[in-house]
Structure 1
Amino acid sequence: MTALSAERVRGQIDALAVAGLDWQTFGRTAMETLHRAMPFAASCFASLDPSTHIVTANVKSGGLDDDHDVEWSFHEYEVEDVYDFHSLSRSEGGVITLHGSTDGDLLRSRRYEELFAPVWGFSDELRTTLRVDGVVWGALALFHGDGRSFTAAEQAFVASISEGLARGVRSGLIAAAVGADGRVRASGPAVLVIDAAGEVAQANLGAAERLADLGCTDLGAAQLPQIVRALVAAARRASVTPGATTPRARMRSTSGGWVVAHASPLVSRHGGTPDVVVTIDDARPPEIIPLVVASYGLTGRERDVVAQVLQGVDTTDIARALHLSAYTVQDHLKRVFAKVGVRSRRELIAQVFTDHYVPQMETGAGLAPSGWFAAS
């Protein structure tokens, strides 16, 4: 890897990040670009829920396949290992490797012993979380085989491009809504019961349609979306962890809408591995508005101002609440308008709410007693 090629790749990834690609297309293209400067056997480029740091979807390259996602989720969320994306996301970030985390004793990692080595023959893994403006939007895992391990130069290079990759994931979430015109949205929630073997034991009538909107072609365990597999594993770990919260995650569906998924373990009279109930439905505004606002790349203070604007607070009261001058508030608003691509408060509010209200309105759905849109 030469300094010239590394610099060129950084520039290409930064350009891709603002090209208006959905995050999956961005991820595939970025991995092809990265491979030109740095060899690796395989890669996994993933989106994460910024709040819970659960992997919601991924794109893979090289020798990786989708046939072992259940096992990967088991090792990532259900059992402890020397590292995982959740702990890396909660730290200051950076890059970790399997060799570095185990001091070269790879068998200290159960993930390596039971999955990486016997299934793919990987000899090292490099991981980094994709963070920008203090928010984690995705994660990257690269793999070496044939006894190779990642060098210090390779680790530094990946660290240097991680923010550009994060910008691509973040902007791709907005691009997903724009590129989804004409796709059919699911009309109701999905309720699934996943048994100890990872199979769908029961499902409601709306499950197939909802899962199809997440790219699932059937209800077989091998076809379940990554978000379901991850939540099931996390729920099983939560069942034996006192005080653990119900695992949840948000993501874009293929039709461009936001969905939220929850997983709850069931208590069995006979003990053993619990069944897990997974529910997937359209996300409500309180769950999505913070994510939409953050995806525009606003600073912390700009997000504070937007939060006030979305509540209908005028400039004078925003200044008082945030201990700013009215002129400073106006300066923040000007920068927000430029980043979001609007010209006024009214357009700003419309832009944020359009991201989840308009797709519902276009289906012709009425309102349910809850105050949210009913299934059409």
Structure 2
Amino acid sequence: MPSPAVRRRRTEVLSSAERADDADELFAVTSARLRRVVAFDAAVWSATDPETGLVTAPMRVENLGGGEHCAAYWESEILGENSVPFRDLARAAVPAARVGHGPGRPWQGENLELRAVLRTGRRPWGVVSLFRFQAPFGAEELEFVAGLSAPLAVRLRSFARRAEARSLPDAPGPGLVLFDPSGEATSINEEARHYLARLPDGPYASTALGVRLPIWIVTAALQARFTPSSVSARVRIRTVDGRWLVCHASSLSGPGGSSGPIVLVIEPAATSDVAVIVAEAYELSPRELEITQLVALGMTTGEIAGRLFISPHTVRDHIKAVFGKVRVSSRGELVARLYAVGLSAVGLSAVGRFAVGQEVVTKPDS
């Protein structure tokens, strides 16, 4: 049982997090408050894609030098060089661990990194690494940081509820970045430059192409380069104006099965790309999400019941539960709240009657 002093410090850290308006501020205020309890020399805070676990924006790096150093850190993570990778912590009983590092790092030695996955259930919404250059982290400090995992993840998750209703009127076609087998960026189209210009500030890796690639883009390419094809190299990223992009990378084969280039695609996220994140943010069950998606397609209660082989009464119960979680009172409000971000991708025809506000769709049992 934590002592009263530990509980008080935990409350102070989490109170700061609760007052944050976005993930950037959450990382900044939590790091500043946490440093008073668990001293550290450097830190990395990053949001993650809750489905793939890959890092995404925003990312906050404190006292670790340039982007190249940060890129090397994430490369070691993808390569599995760290004794306790984040992907294992996402599934571990305790979502935090002390990690040692070999020569070549300012924090080389045993237990000089304390890392944690910020997770709800097994969904990772962020990661944090704290570093010391000399004194190792202790067991009590590990326990304290582990105790912050779930509440910080819940706060991060809540920011995904903010759907952006505006479309991307000037969105070009897919952006393409080509990497050679060694991981160097060799080609880029103008569409990719357009999307990169919309991404938030953060650590970058320099290239010979005249652009700097954000670390979360580089990490997706590294994932495609070093991991099996069954592991998704896909991450969703929010632009500076709140719109969603999806970035996915694939490793191509050369002659005779040799390693070929890596192609990375950046494009506006479709409604289906954002649906899982928004559903998680509102804590919708898989069945509730499924019904909500059918509601967004304009299906009536009877049509949904027939599609899913359940009774209309069960459908109404699910819709009522969704209304309560999302805090809306009509189907039209529900679609606007959850899927406005993707209306440009699915078109008005896909949302049917909800877009024009016919009275029949404002009732749960329609």
TM-score, scaled to structure 2: 0.78
1:169 match: 156
2:178 match: 193
1:77 match: 78
Q: 1:269–1:302: structure 2 CA closer, same or farther, 3 Å change rule?
A: closer
| One-letter amino acid of the counterpart of residue 124, structure 2 | V
- Aligned counterpart for 2:116 among listed residues 118, 128, 131: 128
Q: Give the C-alpha shift of residue 319 in structure 1.
A: 11
Counterpart contact for 2:181–2:225, Cα < 8 Å: no
- Aligned counterpart for 1:262 among listed residues 239, 243, 248: 248
Q: 1:282–1:164: structure 2 CA closer, same or farther, 3 Å change rule?
A: same
Which digits, 9 at most, give the CA deviation of each residue in 1:222-258, with x for residues without a partner?
93112211111111113xx4x5345111121222111
Residues in 2 aligned to 1:144 and 1:324: alpha-carbon distance in whole angstroms = 58
Residues in 1 aligned to 2:205 and 2:45: alpha-carbon distance in whole angstroms = 24
Residues in 2 aligned to 1:161 and 1:172: alpha-carbon distance in whole angstroms = 17
Q: 1:164–1:187: structure 2 CA closer, same or farther, 3 Å change rule?
A: same
Q: Unaligned stretches of 5+ in structure 2?
A: 350-366
Q: Give the C-alpha shift of residue 66 in structure 1.
A: 2.8
Q: Which moved more, 1:51-60 or 1:338-347?
A: 338-347
1:294 match: 280
Q: 1:268–1:73: structure 2 CA closer, same or farther, 3 Å change rule?
A: farther
* Larger relative strand fraction: 2
Which digits, 9 at most, give the CA deviation of each residue in 1:181-218, with x for residues without a partner?
99997544310112355443111121211111113799
| One-letter amino acid of the counterpart of residue 177, structure 2 | L
| One-letter amino acid of the counterpart of residue 281, structure 2 | S
2:145 match: 158
SS in 1 for 2:226: helix
SS in 1 for 2:253: coil
Counterpart contact for 1:42–1:61, Cα < 8 Å: yes
Residues in 2 aligned to 1:300 and 1:13: alpha-carbon distance in whole angstroms = 33
Q: Does residue 1:227 correspond to 2:202, yes or no? A: no
After TM superposition, the runs of 4+ consecutive aligned structure 1 residues lying more than 6 A away are: 181-185, 216-219, 270-273, 322-325
Q: Give the C-alpha shift of residue 306 in structure 1.
A: 3.6
Q: Does residue 1:209 correspond to 2:194, yes or no? A: yes
Counterpart contact for 1:79–1:237, Cα < 8 Å: no
Q: Give the C-alpha shift of residue 14 in structure 1.
A: 3.8
| One-letter amino acid of the counterpart of residue 178, structure 2 | V
Residues in 2 aligned to 1:163 and 1:50: alpha-carbon distance in whole angstroms = 13
Counterpart contact for 2:117–2:149, Cα < 8 Å: yes
Residues in 1 aligned to 2:183 and 2:279: alpha-carbon distance in whole angstroms = 36
Residues in 2 aligned to 1:164 and 1:191: alpha-carbon distance in whole angstroms = 37
2:332 match: 346
Q: Unaligned stretches of 5+ in structure 1?
A: 99-105, 107-111, 368-376
| One-letter amino acid of the counterpart of residue 34, structure 1 | L
| One-letter amino acid of the counterpart of residue 259, structure 1 | L
SS in 2 for 1:47: strand
SS in 1 for 2:104: helix
Counterpart contact for 1:69–1:229, Cα < 8 Å: no
Q: Does residue 1:41 correspond to 2:41, yes or no? A: yes
Residues in 1 aligned to 2:329 and 2:348: alpha-carbon distance in whole angstroms = 31
Q: Give the C-alpha shift of residue 90 in structure 1.
A: 3.7
Q: 1:173–1:154: structure 2 CA closer, same or farther, 3 Å change rule?
A: same
Residues in 2 aligned to 1:341 and 1:185: alpha-carbon distance in whole angstroms = 32
Which digits, 9 at most, give the CA deviation of each residue in 1:31-73, with x for residues without a partner?
1121122211222111111111111232122445433132123
Counterpart contact for 2:164–2:340, Cα < 8 Å: no
Q: 1:346–1:150: structure 2 CA closer, same or farther, 3 Å change rule?
A: same
1:373 match: none
Counterpart contact for 2:89–2:117, Cα < 8 Å: yes
SS in 2 for 1:118: coil
Q: How many residues align?
A: 340
Residues in 2 aligned to 1:175 and 1:28: alpha-carbon distance in whole angstroms = 20
| One-letter amino acid of the counterpart of residue 165, structure 1 | L
SS in 2 for 1:227: helix
| One-letter amino acid of the counterpart of residue 117, structure 2 | T
Counterpart contact for 1:93–1:129, Cα < 8 Å: no
SS in 1 for 2:160: helix
Q: Does residue 1:88 correspond to 2:73, yes or no? A: no
SS in 2 for 1:276: strand
* Larger relative helix fraction: 1
Q: Give the C-alpha shift of residue 332 in structure 1.
A: 5.5
Q: 1:297–1:261: structure 2 CA closer, same or farther, 3 Å change rule?
A: same
Which digits, 9 at most, give the CA deviation of each residue in 1:98-153, with x for residues without a partner?
1xxxxxxx4xxxxx22xxx424235411222111254221112112221x222111
Residues in 1 aligned to 2:171 and 2:235: alpha-carbon distance in whole angstroms = 18
